[in-house]
Amino acid sequence: MTSKQRFRTKYRLELRERDHGPAHVHLVGGEFDVIIYLDSLQSEGRWPKGLRQEVLDWIKQHRQQLMEDWNQWHP
């Protein structure tokens, strides 16, 4: 698994090399594990309070690189 970004020092955005499709990342930390789909930005799981928009904005800015990394690890 590769951490792509940290938020508020407690939460990490991870892209996992051995994971199932469709393309997604995980926001993890504490008791949270949110799955965020890269194509639609839809999510599954409970978000840490007040963090959703910050994370989604970061993903939007870096989505192309995240998709390239996903495609490299999931041919």
- pLDDT for the residue numbered 1: 63
Residue 21 CA to residue 4 CA, distance in Å, equals: 18
- pLDDT for the residue numbered 18: 87
Tens-digit pLDDT profile for residues 4-24? 899 999 999 999 998 988 999
| Lateral strand order in the sheet of 11-15 | 2-7, 11-15, 24-29, 32-37, 43-44
Strand partners, 27: 13, 34
Residues of the chain short of pLDDT 50, as ranges, are: none
pTM score, whole prediction: 0.92
- pLDDT for the residue numbered 57: 98
